[in-house]
Amino acid sequence: MELNNWKTFLEELADPDKINVGSLHQKDKLNSKFWDVRDKLDSEVSDVLYSIAKEFFQSLKLDPRIKMKDVTLTGSIASYNWSNASDVDLHILLDFNDLDNIDLLKDYFKEKTINWNNRHKIFIKGFEVEIYIQDANEPHYSLGIYSIKDNQWIKKPSKFSVKIDDQAIKRKASNLMEQIDDIYDDFAEHQYRTAKKNADRLMKKIKKYRRSGLEKDGVYSVENLVFKVLRRNDYLGKLSSLRIMSYDKTMSLGEEY
């Protein structure tokens, strides 16, 4: 997308009344493309997802003594708040206590998953697969978690009454979107170092904001729902792109934008 068109797109979406929050609300039943009448994962889906996880894990070329503890399906597709824009969140669980050089491997895992997710566009029943490596000892906040390896729920989702203040979520999301717009302005004005610094700062702020909401009130916290709105409206992707582009520009020589 050309930058001028991108800026127009950002300004249009920053209007709170145009922000998509439809996926935040619960459905009457689990997605029937994935779950049977007994709420078990479709066997064909399970086989394909496990094969994807296994092949990705093998591509990491870790010490043969390191094994997958589990492969789980989580996120909105494993709950009642799925939508047509949901991802298939495929988590590979490793015991990080079994690893040497954990900090180095965390960076390695992050790079490998980002590269895989960017390079592959695999769809299961119309929903895109996203891979993530999770520490088996790390708490994971989700309404539903299904073990593909053991073919059973680790945490079975349930329907419950929850009041979502759409307008409050839109206002907070819109404020963060406007901050991303401001970073774009810095980038467009060739203030690359400022853009990079502010993009790094805002990304850390958003992640901390979401984490605090999850720890305090769970997946239906305002903070987590704002995060989902930003992701659903592609603002997290735009912020990530600004970080990368700003860095590339600061490290370039003899180049006019």
Q: What is the pLDDT of residues 114-159, one digit of tens each?
A: 889 889 999 999 999 999 999 999 888 888 999 999 999 999 998 8
Asked if residue 92 and residue 71 are part of one domain, the reply reads yes
141 in the same domain as 43? yes
> Please, which pLDDT band fits residue 81 given cuts at 50, 70 and 90?
confident
Look-up of token digits 């009454």: 161
221 Ramachandran zone, left/alpha/beta (phi>0; psi -120 to 50): beta
Same domain, 147 and 205: no
Asked whether residue 107 falls in the same domain as residue 148, the answer is yes
Q: Is the pLDDT of residue 57 over 90?
A: yes
Phi, psi for residue 30 in degrees, rounded to 5: -65, 160
- Looking at the fold, whether 60 and 101 belong to one and the same domain comes out as yes
The rounded mean pLDDT for the chain is: 86
pLDDT at 11: 47
pTM of the predicted model, to two decimals?
A: 0.69
Based on the fold, state whether residues 17 and 43 are members of the same structural domain: no
- Residue 207 pLDDT level (bands cut at 50, 70, 90): very high
Which residue has better confidence, 163 or 244? 244
Which domain, by its residues, includes 38?
26-155
Last-in-domain residue among 108, 137, 155: 155
Residue 122's pLDDT is 95
- Pick the last residue of a domain from 155, 176, 202: 155
Query: Is 256 inside any structural domain?
Result: no
**Is 31 found in the same domain as 19?**
no
Report the number of distinct structural domains present in the chain: 2
**Residue-by-residue DSSP string for 227-248:** HHHHHHTTHHHHHHHHHHHHHH
- Whether residues 149 and 30 share a domain: the answer is yes
Q: Indicate the residue among 155, 183, 217 that finishes a domain.
A: 155
Asked if residue 15 has pLDDT above 90, the reply is no
Mean pLDDT along residues 234-247: 91
For residue 257, being part of any structural domain is answered with no
Tokens of 39: 């709420």
Note whether 53 and 100 are same-domain residues: yes
Residue 113 has pLDDT above 80, yes or no: yes
Determine the average pLDDT of the residues in 163-181: 87
Strand 127-135 relative to strand 88-94, pairing: parallel
